Amino acid sequence: MTDLTDLQRDALLEIFNIGVGNAANSMSQLINEEIRLSVPKLQIVLSDHAEVIGAFIQSQRICAVSQNFSGPLNARAFLVFPEGKTHEIVRRMLGEMVSADELNTMEEEALSEIGNIVLNACISSMSDLLQSDFKSSQPFYHLGTTHSVLAPDNVADDQFMLLLHIDFSMPKEKIDGYLIFLLNVQSFNELVRKVDRLLSESVGRP
């Protein structure tokens, strides 16, 4: 089952909005410039639906940062940007005086740090609201086609992908980014159970 109720979908969006909001605060302090992040859209697909994933991201080539998270449920999380759309974020992170050559050299390290901030903020929000603890791996940088990065040959066809569109809003600039969480059936069902518990507890509060 890939469909969620409206309440389940709203609860997940709220969890991720809190996470990216915290990430925006951390990134704003890092570059000394206001950054606003929001999650306006959530879609769930099976991992073998490459055409749906490509249409959602609207790019055949991407750069991404991934991390593995383990705990009550296991997930592989990606922060994804269309190729060529990350230079402005990295430039502001590294400073105005960085040359084009330095920017290209340091882009992988800078994006890995940004991915680490955003992905861990989202998992931390999920951990707090769902009352679960997670462990994370080191961030890993990817550059390639949408299929090679997000649907490699060793990924099972019955895994789920949570696709979230993120608006990166900076002064005079807006960049589309994407959060993608890859979960197996057991982890997806566990996530839904935890969201349902969160919703039932919120109904019982005065």
**123-158: pLDDT as tens digits:** 998 888 778 888 999 999 999 888 788 776 555 556
Q: How many domains does the chain have?
A: 1
Half-sphere exposure of 121 (CA within 13 A, CB side): 21
Q: Average pLDDT per run of 10 along the chain, which is 206 residues long? A: 80 89 86 82 76 76 92 90 80 71 79 90 86 89 86 64 86 83 89 89 64
Answer yes or no: is 169 within a domain. yes
Range of the domain at 91: 6-203
Describe the crossing of helices 6-31 and 185-203 by its angle, rounded to 10 degrees: 100
How far is it, in rounded angstroms, from Cα 96 to Cα 32? 12
Answer yes or no: is 1 within a domain. no
Give the CATH number for residue 103. 3.40.1550.10
Answer yes or no: is 54 within a domain. yes
Helices (H) and strands (E) in the chain, counts: 6, 7
What's the predicted TM-score (pTM) here?
Answer: 0.86
Both tokens of 112, joined, read 């890995």
